[in-house]
């Protein structure tokens, strides 16, 4: 899809849904409106983590990633709900459908945010009128609030959308950077994480303005090529296009989950590894993709996080193969300390249609014999919703359907499907 080539510069929106999970729950159940609501991965557990919360809860000090016990201490009347990811995916699909009615240049970047290039979109008036039209339409049809940043590029649009919430519309022009953007702490800049901000502070870069005016050589010495990139963005320079096809560019597919409580229980860890491998298997099938590397992520009780990976000899896609490599990595690198989070990711991913799968004399007969079985199972799973050959008891079913507290991006083309 060819990017618009305007004579007077681009007009880019960043759409950011406000308190998305909580807002979806409020739209679904009107009785929750105006109340302090939090979405948590394991609300029954004392060590559950806040995924997101309503503005009423935030006003009491409740924050994302805060332990549930601490949130309840700050806000005793807090209403806590488990995430309903299918409900959020459905809402996300409808949001992006509305955006795509205005322009084909829509780039989803997560379940609740995306970019639009509206340079040539004038059917709803000028860019500010179009933004109000979109905001009002999403509220009217879905009962969901959003903030919209309007700017000449993606970076500035992203920064603008954060400046007024909820239901904000903010224009950020390059000539306004010195008084709107530069006074902000450098840690509030998109693309600058906590560790990068700490490094920048060591060379007296405390605000975005400091970064914009810092010597580029010194920044590159500290941060490599990213130093120059961040300086350019601080000066309002960002030429990256709004790319609707970016959702199809994926190099890895993974799944992770925070445990209800820190654990060294090998049975509990094994069950979770099994669930994560199955989730990755399912996502690979959905994308008709395979991969050449497996990575595990282990986050310990003290938040120390390690990642370890292994490249395999052939492309893999099945749960059994993924789990075998993941378990091998886990046994080799786990130091027996209590674990807070586990993740499994298949990397070096490519679509099957891009790979010429060369079967040798020894694997051809084995693979061919399994193909009809896999096809039959997939067909029945499609019809009945899950593999009908797996025997479930109530406990297994409950464990299977426990929601994850993190989202992957391999569903972001849902809005394009009928």
Q: b/e string for 54-64 if b means 16 or more Cβ within 10 A?
A: bbbbbeeebee
Angle at 284 between CA 305 and CA 273, to 5 degrees: 40
181: CB partners within 8 A, 6+ apart: 156, 159, 172, 208, 209, 234, 236
Q: Any known ligand binding at 112?
A: yes
User: Could you tell me which of 59, 290, 257 has the C-alpha nearest to residue 166?
Assistant: 59
The catalytic position among 113, 204, 266, 351 is 113
Structure tokens at 352: 């099957």
Between CA 154 and CA 120 the distance in angstroms is 16
Q: Are 190 and 158 in contact (CB under 8 A)?
A: yes
Structure tokens at 349: 């991913």
- Annotation says 266 is catalytic: no
Between CA 153 and CA 174 the distance in angstroms is 10
Between CA 90 and CA 402 the distance in angstroms is 18
How many residues would you count in the chain? 418
Q: Any known ligand binding at 120?
A: no
Q: Are 146 and 15 in contact (CB under 8 A)?
A: yes
Binding residue ranges for Mg(2+): 16, 112
Residues marked as catalytic: 113
Instruction: Cite the annotated binding site by residue number.
Output: 16, 112
């Amino acid at each position: 899809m060819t990017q618009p080539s305007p004579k007077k510069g681009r007009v880019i929106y960043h759409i950011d849904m406000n308190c998305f999970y909580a807002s979806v729950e409020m739209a679904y159940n009107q009785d929750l409106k105006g109340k302090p609501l939090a979405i948590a991965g394991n609300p029954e557990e004392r060590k559950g983590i806040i995924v997101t919360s309503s503005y009423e809860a935030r006003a009491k000090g409740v924050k994302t990633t805060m332990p549930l016990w601490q949130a309840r201490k700050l806000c005793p009347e807090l209403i806590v709900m488990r995430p309903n990811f299918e409900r959020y995916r459905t809402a996300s699909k409808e949001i992006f459908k509305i955006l795509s009615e205005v322009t084909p240049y829509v780039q989803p970047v997560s379940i609740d945010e995306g970019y639009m290039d509206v340079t040539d979109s004038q059917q709803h008036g000028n860019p500010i009128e179009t933004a109000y039209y979109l905001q009002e339409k999403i509220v009217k049809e879905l009962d969901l609030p959003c903030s919209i940043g309007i700017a000449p590029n993606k970076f500035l649009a992203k920064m603008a959308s954060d400046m007024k919430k909820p239901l904000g519309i903010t224009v950020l022009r390059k000539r306004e950077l010195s008084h709107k953007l530069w006074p902000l702490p450098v840690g509030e800049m998109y693309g600058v994480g906590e560790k990068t901000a700490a490094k920048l502070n060591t060379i007296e870069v405390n605000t975005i303005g400091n970064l914009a005016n810092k010597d580029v050589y010194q920044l590159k010495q500290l941060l490599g090529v990213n130093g120059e990139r961040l300086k350019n963005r601080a000066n309002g320079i960002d030429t990256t296009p709004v790319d609707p096809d970016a959702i199809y560019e994926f190099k890895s597919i993974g799944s992770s989950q925070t445990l209800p409580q820190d654990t060294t229980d090998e049975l509990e860890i094994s069950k979770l590894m099994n669930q994560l491998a199955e989730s990755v298997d399912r996502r690979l099938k959905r994308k008709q993709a395979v991969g050449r590397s497996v990575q595990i992520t282990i986050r310990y009780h003290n938040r120390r996080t390690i990642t370890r990976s292994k490249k395999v000899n052939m492309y893999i896609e099945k749960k059994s193969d993924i789990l075998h490599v993941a378990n091998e990595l886990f046994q080799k690198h786990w130091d027996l300390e209590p674990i807070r989070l586990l993740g499994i990711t298949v990397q070096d991913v490519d679509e099957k249609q891009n790979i010429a799968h060369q079967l040798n004399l020894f694997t051809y007969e084995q693979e061919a014999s399994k193909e009809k079985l896999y096809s039959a199972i997939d067909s029945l799973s499609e019809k009945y919703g899950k593999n009908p050959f797996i025997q479930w008891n109530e406990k297994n079913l409950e464990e299977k359907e426990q929601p994850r507290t993190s989202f992957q991006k391999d569903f972001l083309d849902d809005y394009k499907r009928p």
